[in-house]
Structure 1
């Protein structure tokens, strides 16, 4: 074959290549190799995603229409189910974007976009259903729960804050630096009786909930008599907290220092009621492993991830050895610290 024949053959190949339709190959990665297999084993599915199959499908039905993408001629879009799987793996394992991108054969920027979008949608879809603002009657019901379960009457909730460690944002200086020597945002939570660098008190004062508590616009029930203490008159309903929070008419903490007699008994009862918020944070951390390390994304994304995990925890509230419901009402807001 001489040079002219080689050139002619090459031109013919180029011509045919332009005429033939392109077949775009989209790598499905772990989703089609693993997720479909996990559906056959309910226990493994729940271990991997922290939701069972029914809870996963229920959540997908709520957010799927919002995150559905338009099919193009170039490639099949990532399905809503894949969006949710990628987001849940980030929340459940705390894996880096790079690790998740390699697992699902997508780009790191795609993973970042999916996590940010899906966590926002999860929050919007679940917040009104699982974390509505309590009415006066709701507050009374919560107080009755504390009286029956924790022997602490007129209590409306247990308050505490949790630092969610993140990387230092660019050009933020000391804005997110806290007294523990890390960069973080603070999750401030108010938990009812059925759980499963600023101080926490400073976070409370700067939160919407804290401002409403301090200015008396939370729609709390009227003062009520304590059981067996009619002689004391009507007493206000209160939230219980630790020494990091300021005393207020509707915010109570233990007596300081070593106490005896009635003060010691009071401290025991209050601490017993307050522990439920710490137990709730323990449940949150054990279920969503992203809280166990430094979250390597921008703080706005961290906020929506935290909110999404707060919403998702209601979809899977259980204790390991019992069927006891640990339904939790988290009323706090996310604050930059």
Structure 2
């Protein structure tokens, strides 16, 4: 974070975190509170360590940091926004088409487990399939590695798809309340296709949510589709990777009360978007995955080196059938009118 960005952020949060001196002691200044919070998010150090670099007691840090994160969420809320109009959604789709050659893509979605210490008397509630305790961060990102939607706080025993199914975003998508663009013709063709989110196999597919084909018995055309989808879907994986590299509080279990963890997560995601807008050095060239389609090479982002199925009822099966139909449309399109000259080479380089 540059000094200018810090100063701008400080001015925004100052009205919400400034405290009055008392006869007993001098209040911790707004600048000191913001600095302590950013140091905590960036380093992930325990309060017992952080107190030596901030001259603030561990007990007071445990109050200051969540409070400052609340203030950050309040003042930066406009840096994360679900599109409200068809034109806003179409701009996201245009960016995905231009940058990642996936047409009609409205965002890439995935879930990330945020490690926590096992809460007292919680049993297996937060116990996840990886054998750790966590809450789930569900994120949807645009083509520029920016969050447009975040849901944080569901216990880690729930699958990514299960988390999504219980969000207001999911309900609005199925009830057609998101103002998504109507299906339209794909470029250089007469094929009409819906606008979709892209995700991995953990999610239940529908007309507006695409996922890859299972790896078993893939045909050539399905491999092409999976490759083209993975190019768009990797954006959310890289966004989570950038988040964890810049906010190293996510590198190990967060020892704070589990009820305070979601505000830590939300503040970090908003700061991520803020710094994507304000700092040219926030995301470096080696930070994210890089494809060289001229020389047929793939370089994983540096973050990668540090680093359940859903029961379907009848209605879900109908939506899955619609999703399968949409997936077939894109499969045929990417293998014909919508093909790119490097896809045949890259499916072998990436062994897709």
TM range (shorter): 0.7 to 0.9
Q: Residues of 2 paired with 1:170 and 1:143: CA distance?
A: 45
Q: What's 2:311 paired with?
A: none
- Does 1:291 find its partner at 2:250? yes
**SS in structure 2 opposite 1:222?**
coil
Q: Residues of 1 paired with 2:201 and 2:102: CA distance?
A: 18
Of 210, 216, 228, the match for 2:170: 210
Q: 1:173 deviation in Å? A: 1.8
Q: What's 1:301 paired with?
A: 260
Q: What's 1:137 paired with?
A: 87
Q: What's 1:150 paired with?
A: 100
Which range moves more in the overlay, 156-165 or 258-267? 258-267
Cα distance per residue 1:219-266 (max 9 Å; x no partner): 111111111221x3x221000011101111100011222423322211
Equivalent runs, 1:1-337 vs 2, <5 Å: 51-127=1-77, 129-135=78-84, 136-195=86-145, 197-230=157-190, 232=191, 234-256=192-214, 257-317=216-276, 318-321=282-285
Q: Highest Rg: 1 or 2?
A: 1
Q: Residues of 1 paired with 2:174 and 2:260: CA distance?
A: 30
**SS in structure 2 opposite 1:246?**
coil
Cα distance per residue 1:23-47 (max 9 Å; x no partner): xxxxxxxxxxxxxxxxxxxxxxxxx
- TM-score of the aligned structures, taking structure 1 as reference length: 0.77
- TM-score of the aligned structures, taking structure 2 as reference length: 0.74
Gaps of 5+ in 1: 1-50, 325-337
Q: Residues of 2 paired with 1:96 and 1:228: CA distance?
A: 56
Q: CA RMSD in A?
A: 1.6
Question: Does the Cα contact within 8 Å between 2:76 and 2:274 map onto a contact in 1?
Answer: no
Q: Residues of 1 paired with 2:228 and 2:284: CA distance?
A: 26
Q: Residues of 2 paired with 1:211 and 1:222: CA distance?
A: 18
Count of residue correspondences: 270
Question: Does the Cα contact within 8 Å between 2:14 and 2:30 map onto a contact in 1?
Answer: yes
Cα distance per residue 1:114-163 (max 9 Å; x no partner): 01100111011101x21122122110000111111111111101000000
Gaps of 5+ in 2: 147-156, 277-281, 289-352
Cα distance per residue 1:184-217 (max 9 Å; x no partner): 1111000111127221111110122222222222
Question: Does the Cα contact within 8 Å between 2:106 and 2:196 map onto a contact in 1?
Answer: yes
Q: Residues of 2 paired with 1:121 and 1:258: CA distance?
A: 51
Q: 1:321 deviation in Å? A: 4.8
User: Hey, which bits of structure 1, 4+ residues long, moved more than 6 A?
Assistant: none
Q: What's 1:330 paired with?
A: none
Question: Does the Cα contact within 8 Å between 2:69 and 2:263 map onto a contact in 1?
Answer: yes
Q: What's 1:22 paired with?
A: none
Q: Residues of 2 paired with 1:120 and 1:271: CA distance?
A: 35
